[in-house]
Amino acid sequence: MPALQPRKIGVIGSGQIGPDIALYFSKVFHAAKVPVVVVDIRQEALDAGRQKMTKKLAKGVESGAFKQAEVDAMLANTSWTTDYGALAGADLVVEAATEDLRIKQRIFETVEKSVSKTAVLASNSSHLEPEVIFEKVGDPSRTMVIHYFFPAERNIIVEVVPGKNTSPAVTDSVMKMYEAIGKVPLKIGSRYGYAIDPIFEGMFLGAARLVESGVASPKQVDGIAQKVLGLGIGPFTAMNLTGGNPLTAVGLKHYHTKIMGWFDSPKILEEQVASGKPWETAGRGETVTWTEGQFRAAGDALRGCYFGLVCEILESGIASVADLELGVETALVMNAPFTMMNQVGVPAALELVQAYAAKNPGFKVAEPLKKQAASGRPWEIPLVLREDVDGVALLTFRRPKVLNALNSDVMKQLAAHLEAIRADKGVKGIVVTGYGSKAFVSGADINELAAIQTPQAATSHALSWQRVADAIEAFEKPVVCAYNGLAFGGGNELAMSCHARVAKKGLPVLFAQPEPRLGIIPGMGGTQRLPRIVGLEKAWAPLRTGAPVSGAKAKEWGLILEECDDPVARAIEIVREAAAGTRKLAPIARGPMTVPANLPQADLGHLSKKIDEIMQRAILEGAQMPLEEGLRHEAKLFGDCLKTEDMKIGMQNFLKNGPKANAAFVNR
């Protein structure tokens, strides 16, 4: 089933989160004229929701995020009504009413009568299992929970929780739609609270018990939690902002029987709910202090609680290491759990959990953590995900926070996948793509590049990455790149090592080799493969200036075979054709090239003339060598960039000012 393409979207509930969900849908779909209808039984709630959305969009205009014309279009695209009949024609309905089972069931009884039999029905419940919510729905195959996180219009994580009767095809189509519109959907197994809220609410419970036992005050625990766990805001401040005290109190009581006995609503939370008051937290600019003993006791308890909760979710089987790592870090704005355990050492993490469990009856020490500690190895955190589709291995780079940028861990995982697929007789070939709709791969991780200290280390780094690209190029089975979005730097170099490439239709920017803006040259084959694929004359200016090239131009030049609506599906077809022998994928020319007498002019602008000298040497001297020698020559010259002042200037400028700011190169 293809990605869900709604013609109309309904949002039910105009309270805490419904208007934010509607705002996001309108932001994404208003240009396509897909109307968003918000339904609530109370007119005052609708008025408040419309005002909330209007204020947020006005702030977006002030910050430059939106133009006024866009805001006007979004507001015009969103309607607010008490009439459930307005949902007629909706292909997707997301209920965001209060967390009351009877109310939710009544809502869907009404909704089911108002929409077509193919419309997807979803609840933004934060706890209730989909089987329970949709128990009375006539066709549960089209139902699921889609759980947003605060603030819903900006937090990219959504938990997609199908019930036992939900159609896998419907789930897949919803997952694809959310990925296409810029969210990061995580498919989570059905259990009360799902995967992330038991961690959020469990960490609040751990913090509350520290306060109850007299270890520290709410202000102090907030501050210590931020230091120890990397939280954007402390657990008590988060509870104030989300208004989550009543819901958390209910959730913790249910977790007691549904997850583990340690969970329960603490006395101080019950008192806070009864009073209706917010927690006493630090004011703006207020400095909170604590003793070394308080920091150590609270810090160890919080880490033990955190690691234990995450590993319990893993043991339950409702979420993977990869999804928990990404989901918890992004949705809750805190240090990624498995990376954090690797940093402290998995055996040390186990000791922290065991110590916490010894002091907190009913707290579980999960078996996966025990086994990982006993193995003596760190957690493996998948960044390159493999899914086999009818005999084709689909490899997806998934690092959405950095637009799928490459680092050494990604390259090691990619190499491991190649070895496994080579030995897998059931796999005909490989498709590589990126996660989301913005980027295939945005380049190499600049922090990793900036940490290289010597020319020798830079050359060694380039050679190690070249070995992975060479392995793709020499792979015995067909390998096709599906550009789902832009490819910069190392991302495009990786794509060019594939046997063929297709791209999403209409990309104004498909690729660029922006290394000159950083004070470096490509190091994974860009100066050698691009000229051999598109011709030296066409590659000359883009390599020297970093200028972007559109999808249409890339097709004209021969970098890609075609532009298409679904590049992954098309790439899979091409792999099958190549494996069956009905299509031949032309190999890259491996011999020396003829260098034209005249090459196009390149406007360097602010770019470094010193780096451009190295770039020209890499292109021209490498072109006159066999490909293998040209690649090694490029790696050596990549190392030579470290001998210049301009590489340091370019890297520091990027890290300090971002990719759009021009570096003040000195041409040395």
Catalytic center residues: 493, 515
With CA atoms as reference, report the closest residue to 491 among 513, 518, 520: 513
Sheet strands side by side (includes 78-81) = 78-81, 36-39, 9-12, 92-95, 120-123, 143-148, 157-162, 184-187
With CA atoms as reference, report the closest residue to 23 among 106, 129, 94: 94
* 487-519 b/e (C-beta count within 10 Å ≥ 16 → b): bbbbbbbbbbbbbbbbbbeebeebbbbbbbbbb
Q: What would the two tokens of residue 635 be?
A: 């790696």
Residue 113: CB atoms within 10 A of its CB come to: 12
Are 203 and 306 within 8 A, CB to CB? Answer: yes
HEC letters along 149-193: CCCCCCCCEEEEEECCCCCHHHHHHHHHHHHHCCCEEEECCCCCC
Are 402 and 445 within 8 A, CB to CB? Answer: yes
HEC letters along 581-634: CCCCCCCCCCCCCCCCCCCCCCCCCCCCHHHHHHHHHHHHHHHCCCHHHHHHHH
With CA atoms as reference, report the closest residue to 607 among 667, 529, 541, 521: 667
Break the chain down into helix, strand, coil percent, rounded to 5.
50, 10, 35
DSSP 559: S
The pairing of strands 562-564 and 500-504 is parallel
The pairing of strands 486-488 and 439-441 is parallel
Q: What would the two tokens of residue 606 be?
A: 């602010």
- Give 133's contacts (C-beta < 8 A, 6+ positions apart): 101, 104, 105, 108, 123, 125, 143, 145
Distance of alpha carbon 249 from alpha carbon 201, whole angstroms? 9
How many CA within 13 A on the CB side of residue 581?
Answer: 0
With CA atoms as reference, report the closest residue to 414 among 432, 401, 390: 432
Cα-trace Rg, the chain: 27
Residue type, 103: I
Tokens 């020297």 sit on residue: 544
End-to-end distance of the chain based on CA atoms, in angstroms? 56
How many CA within 13 A on the CB side of residue 596?
Answer: 10
The pairing of strands 143-148 and 384-389 is unpaired
* 349-363 b/e (C-beta count within 10 Å ≥ 16 → b): bbbbbbebbeebeeb
Return left, alpha or beta for 391; rule: phi > 0 is left, psi -120 to 50 is alpha, else beta: left
- Paired with 483 in beta bridges are 503
Tokens 């979420």 sit on residue: 319
- Paired with 239 in beta bridges are none
Say what angle helices 235-242 and 197-212 make with each other, to 10 degrees: 120
Are 413 and 384 within 8 A, CB to CB? Answer: yes
